[in-house]
Structure formats: C-alpha cells, structure tokens
C-alpha cells in the first residue's frame, strides 16, 4: 500500500466496485486467438458512459497513465471531451480488432491494429468497436493541469448504425 498513490488506490477500489456491480471480476470474453498484447481487463467502472460492455485493464499509473480498454462488438463510449487548462488530451493506440474514432463534425475514422490517434483537449469525440468486431485500444492520458472529462450524449443507434 505504501507504494500505491492515493489516486491509484481510489481507482483500484472503483475498479473492484465496478466489477462487482457487473457481476464478477472475470476477464473480458474475447474470442479465441484475439491478440491484444495486454490482458483484456475486467468490467469497466465507467460503463455508465458506454453503450454496450467495455473492459478496463490498467497498464501503468506513473508518468503517463495508460489503460487497456476492450470493447465488445457494437460497444462505444458516449460523446465526451477531455478538458485541460494546460497540456492534456488523450492518445489512443489501437492494438486489436476493428473500431472507430470520430470527432464532432467530421467523418468517423476506422481504427485497426497499429493505428494511433491524438485527441486534443477540448475536442468532442467518441471511440469504440465496429458493430461486428471486438476492439482494443490503449488509452494514454496526456498529463494536464486542470484535467477533467465532460461526458455528453450517447452516440445514437442511428448515427452508429450508418457505419460499416
């Protein structure tokens, strides 16, 4: 415990609570042969901001915090904004499956293993899986002063349903 920061301890507690609320702490049921480098993770404590099931696996908390996020087919997060007074934003590294990234007012960008995305602070966006594929990205929190996330409306079935 002495090596664990207060925020890490709180995050770990939130993860356990989220897993318990979702009915267990089992790893995501990804398909056989799904190679996403890191463990897929357990039910995401932030799933109330997602459509469908996502799974979270913290990778490292020091320096640039990194989290492995796995989305079941059709799962995506709500529109959201990473806020910061200085620095900040988010980097996504796609490591398995097929997914999408979209900024408000722009076409969705397909993501596959090896793709990287920089999301500037203040930009409204969402990310998630394709309808027919699991998807995993590593999310890097770019260090920020005054960092926070604003969660907005879900990506509607109508707009998501237009994507191949």
Enumerate binding residues for Mn ion (CB under 5 A).
90
Shortest gap between Cβ of 20 and Mn ion (angstroms)? Answer: 25
At CA 135, angle to CA 33 and CA 105, rounded to 5?
A: 160
CB 128 within 8 A of CB 75: yes
Nearer Cβ to Mn ion (4/106): 106
Residue nearer to Mn ion on the CB measure, 24 or 122: 122
Supply the minimum distance, in Å, between the C-beta of residue 119 and Mn ion.
6
Min CB(139)–Mn ion separation in Å: 7
Is the Cβ–Cβ distance between 142 and 90 less than 8 Å?
Answer: yes
Q: Which is nearer to Mn ion, 98 or 127 (CB)?
A: 127
Which residue in the shown chain puts its C-beta closest to Mn ion? 90
Smaller CB separation from Mn ion, 90 or 102: 90
Which candidate, 158, 116, 111, places its Cα nearest to that of 134?
A: 111
Q: Count, in order, helices (H) and strands (E) of the chain.
A: 2, 14
Query: Which residues are CB-contacts of 77 (< 8 A; sequence separation ≥ 6)?
Result: 46, 49, 50, 51, 54, 126, 127, 128
Q: Smallest distance from the beta carbon of 146 to Mn ion, in angstroms?
A: 17
């Amino acid at each position: 415990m002495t090596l664990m920061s207060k925020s890490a301890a709180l995050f770990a507690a939130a993860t356990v609570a989220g897993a318990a609320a979702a009915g267990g702490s089992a790893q995501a049921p990804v398909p056989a042969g799904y190679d996403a480098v890191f463990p897929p993770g357990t039910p995401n404590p932030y799933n109330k901001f997602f459509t469908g099931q996502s799974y979270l696996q913290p990778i490292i908390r020091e320096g640039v915090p990194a989290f492995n996020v796995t989305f079941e087919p059709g799962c995506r997060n709500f529109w959201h904004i990473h806020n910061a007074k200085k620095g900040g934003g988010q980097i996504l590294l796609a490591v398995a499956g097929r997914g999408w990234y979209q900024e408000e007012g722009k076409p969705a960008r397909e993501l596959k293993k090896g793709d990287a995305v920089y999301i500037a602070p203040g930009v409204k966006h969402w990310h998630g899986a394709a309808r027919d594929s699991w998807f995993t990205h590593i999310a890097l929190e770019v260090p920020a002063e005054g960092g926070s996330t604003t969660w907005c409306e879900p990506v509607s079935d109508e707009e998501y349903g237009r994507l191949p």
